[in-house]
Amino acid sequence: MSSEKVRFAPSPTGQLHVGNVRTALVNYLFARHHGGQFMLRIDDTDTERSTQAFEASIRDDILWLGMGWDCEDRQSNRLERYDDALARLVAAGRAYPCFETAEELGLKRKAQLMAGKPPVYDRAALKLTPEQIEALKAEGKTPHYRFLLNHEQVSWTDLVRGDVSYHMSSLSDPVLMREDGRVIYTLASVVDDIDHGITTILRGEDHVTNSAAQIQLFEALGSPAPKMGHLALLAGMEGEGLSKRLGSLSIAQLREEGIQSAAITSLLGRIGTSHPIEAFADMQPLIESFDMAAFGRSTAKFSHSELGQINARLLQGLDFDNVAEQLLALGLAEITPLFWEVVKGNIDRLEDAGMWWQICHQPVTPDIEDAEFIGQAASLISEDEFDADSWSAWTKAVSAQTGAKGRGLFMPLRKALTGQSHGPDMGQLLPFIGRQTALARLQGKTA
């Protein structure tokens, strides 16, 4: 096993959506490609919005997608570690208490913007003397704590974006701990990554600026920063963002729609890369071909319709053994291997196989446009029960008597027998409909 170790750190404040699942998948593929470890870390310090139900849903979705993790932890179990880290930073002069309220900070930012200045924290709290700090605490005021950035250039070679550089004077000293004692992601994430031995951080490009500050935080805590790669964010086809709080394109929603897990990983494993998007029944091809150099910097557009097309291609290439358990779970135990082979080329969702079973075995209202033609066809049906050759023999007889050919021959018969204008090969479907049902439908009866 290689020394590579990555993590996916969801906050259980909502359902997984395609945006953060893509991040999880990239980390998983990276770990498996390099023979390293994939860690699940539950970032549950937001006690107001975190729920056990969301966490259970996240875990279920990750496992359903086939991304088993090698180890796990949760931030709520590590609060003492964050307190210890903050104390070390304060002792080293790299963290300091601040007493401004949210309202006061808001007024400062507003004044800076009106003056045409960037809304960077002015470090007013650094001017407080020890006596003033103790006096404020005696008044019952509780400080929040900020990390003192060194105003210097921070640079790194990003695995996606290439050379990245920020001068830290352009950033506010980040808050590490709220006045109520709740740790901020900036500190908790760095402490966790150090303790867990994370070697590479792969996340969205919305964290790039945050990463610059965290690189200094890693160093202040005595650890080199891991390698970093910041993925271009996904957007909808109109350029809209994907919000987990709105449940936009959630995995739960896609599962309810009948999308296969392999269709989701096939699309998200290649979207935004130079590799072609293909329908893979398992993740091994994605693992073997994974290459961080293939990821581009442009915003990747997620297409719900493209996902549906991949889902259809995937299902149409599966043998019955690959779908038997899912069919049972959907209450479609009556579908046989032979019937699956007949209909699978005409389904977009697994449930569609059940629709075709009902068309063959449940009452259908026939669609008859030319009653005279259909009546002639009905009179030519063989007295024998249908077999694999019945459709060919029957349509030849109908064509010989009526002169109908091609679409003019086959389409009216299909619509009369199935109520549909498209579908599986009628030669294969007809034996499942049966002679008696077919004759009734040709007579205009719902059968």
Q: Which CATH superfamily is domain 91-177 in?
A: Glutamyl-tRNA Synthetase; Domain 3 (3.90.800.10)
According to CATH, the topology of domain 363-447 is Arc Repressor Mutant, subunit A (1.10.10)
Backbone angles phi, psi at 325, to 5 degrees: -65, -40
Q: Where in the chain is the domain with CATH 3.90.800.10?
A: 91-177
CA distance 420 to 53: 42
**For the whole prediction, is pTM greater than 0.75?**
yes
CA distance 242 to 333: 37
Per-residue model confidence (pLDDT) at position 237: 73
CA distance 100 to 143: 8
Largest CA distance in the chain: 108
Per-residue model confidence (pLDDT) at position 280: 97
Instruction: Match 């901020």 to its residue by tokens.
Output: 184
According to CATH, the topology of domain 1-73+83-90+186-317 is Rossmann fold (3.40.50)
Q: Where in the chain is the domain with CATH 1.10.10.350?
A: 363-447
Tokens of 406: 């091609």
> Would you write out the chain's pLDDT as a tens digit for each of its 447 residues?
679 999 999 999 999 999 999 999 999 999 999 999 999 999 998 888 899 999 999 999 999 999 999 999 999 999 999 999 999 999 999 999 999 999 999 999 999 999 998 999 999 999 999 999 999 999 999 999 999 999 999 999 999 999 999 999 999 999 999 999 999 999 999 999 999 999 999 999 999 999 999 999 999 999 999 999 999 998 877 666 665 444 468 999 999 999 999 999 999 999 999 999 999 999 999 999 999 999 999 988 899 999 999 999 999 999 999 999 999 999 999 999 999 999 999 999 999 999 999 999 999 999 999 999 999 999 999 999 999 999 999 999 999 999 999 999 999 999 999 999 999 999 999 999 999 999 999 999 999
Per-residue model confidence (pLDDT) at position 1: 61
CA distance 349 to 356: 12
User: Which residues partner with 185 through β-bridges?
Assistant: none
Per-residue model confidence (pLDDT) at position 46: 86
Per-residue model confidence (pLDDT) at position 248: 62
Q: Where in the chain is the domain with CATH 3.40.50.620?
A: 1-73+83-90+186-317
Per-residue model confidence (pLDDT) at position 244: 47
| Helical pair 371-379 and 390-402, crossing angle rounded to 10 deg | 120
Per-residue model confidence (pLDDT) at position 235: 83
Pair 404, 410: CB distance under 8 Å: no
Amino acid (1-letter code) at residue 299: T
